[in-house]
Structure 1
Amino acid sequence: MSILTDTDLRRIICTNEAELTDEKLLIQPFEDSCLTPMGYDLRVGCFYKTYVSKPNLMTIREGEQVIIKPRDTYLIGTFEQIRMPKDGSISALILSKVSKVAKGLSQVSTKVDPGWGEGELLIPVQNLSRDSISLDQGEAFCTIVFFKNESLPSSVYSSGSSRLNFVKLLAQANRESLNKDFQLGFISLLVLGSAIAIGYYFFGNSPGFGVTVAAGVAIEKVASGVAARIIGRR
């Protein structure tokens, strides 16, 4: 197994699907400045997902940033679509950029199987620092290094499996998020409703009713905050 240099890559890279053959490597859109002596710098794409703060799929528009909070892990989609040669002759690893590691951003090394043809890659990154780290949409944040396989693999990537699993993961995360929101909403309504009912029962329309409701609002905020931490919503 040998690493492909920029010279090697220029011979096999194509930049649109019309040029794609069994021996070609598709990188789209291709940016010449991202090609390095031993790989290609991948850029932040248009979507990401967090594991801690927000479980839903988030979109990034041009000019916007991904702000990675301390100790949080993000799954970031790449700006580029990658399609490996269909003949299974090339594998790849995705490695961290030193400039990002110096800031506390750790990218979990990820492999790209021979024959991968799904397009955007999903890159897990973790903020190990005590401060938030921002990444601009379109900013290079990791490097993909390509290897020439000494022999062909017994099988190549099975199209659809990874993306299908990711869609299932997002659907599950969305269901969990909705469930947590429902629980928090129910707790808020229960506390406020109880305060109103108790206040009206004991004080009617007297000033004591307003005091009871105000106390209920304060208790609701505390109870919601505690519940949010318990169920992992904050």
Structure 2
Amino acid sequence: MILQDSKIKRMVENKELIISPFEIECLNSAGYDLRSSMDLLVYPKEQKLISTLERIELPPNIAGFLHLRSSLIREGLLAGLALVDPGFKGQLTISLFNASHNVIKISQGEPFLQITFIQLQDKAEKPYSGKYQNSKGVTKSLRHIKS
């Protein structure tokens, strides 16, 4: 089940779902707009990493799907997005690629990503506890680092 705005707001108020800082203006009918933690210029045919301003903490019965804002897609920006596992805590790092011939600017505090929250039927038996738990700022790949 996809969580609607009133359920997201209630879960944040009850501290069942952490979005920090939470701004009511970023809440929409079926998700929440995540903002950039930095000013970023992405030049044509360039890939860069960006992190969200918000720290999120998902309970063991909620997963998140990420979507790049459609206005940025229309400008030629592509994103490498992944499922946000139940139990994840931290800021999110996203890979962006500029497929256009123009420089694309994202300003600090600008919404660039939406997260849609999905309620699982039951709590995950193995909530996320991987290498990116408690990420702060842009976090480069840790795939070659042993846990």
* TM-score normalised by structure 2 residue count: 0.86
Asked if residue 145 in structure 1 is aligned to residue 116 in structure 2, the reply is yes
Asked if residue 120 in structure 1 is aligned to residue 91 in structure 2, the reply is yes
Give the conservation status (yes or no) of the 8 Å contact 2:88–2:128. yes
Give the conservation status (yes or no) of the 8 Å contact 1:45–1:137. yes
Distance 2:132 2:69 in 1: 25
Distance 1:77 1:9 in 2: 22
Distance 1:164 1:41 in 2: 20
Higher RCO (CA-CA < 8 Å; seq separation 6+): 2
CA RMSD of aligned residues (A): 2.2
**Secondary structure at the counterpart of residue 113 of structure 2:** strand
Residues 4-32 of structure 1 show CA distances to partners (whole Å, capped at 9, x for unaligned) of 01011111014xxxx64xxx000111111
1:123 is displaced (CA, Å) by: 1.3
Give the conservation status (yes or no) of the 8 Å contact 1:42–1:142. yes
Change (3 A) 1:162 1:27: same
**Secondary structure at the counterpart of residue 129 of structure 1:** coil
Distance 1:136 1:128 in 2: 19
Partner of 2:35: 43
Question: Displaced runs of 4+ in structure 1, greater than 3 A?
Answer: 163-169
Structure 2 matches for 1:1-234, cutoff 5 A?
2-14=1-13, 20=15, 24-46=16-38, 65-85=39-59, 88-117=60-89, 119-158=90-129, 161-162=131-132, 166=139
1:103 is displaced (CA, Å) by: 0.6
Larger radius of gyration: 1
Mark the runs of 5 or more structure 2 residues left unpaired by the alignment. Answer: 143-147
Number of aligned residue pairs: 140
Residues 145-179 of structure 1 show CA distances to partners (whole Å, capped at 9, x for unaligned) of 100002322300115x125994675xxxxxxxxxx
Change (3 A) 1:126 1:31: same
* TM-score normalised by structure 1 residue count: 0.55
Q: Percent identical across equivalent pairs?
A: 33
1:75 is displaced (CA, Å) by: 1.2
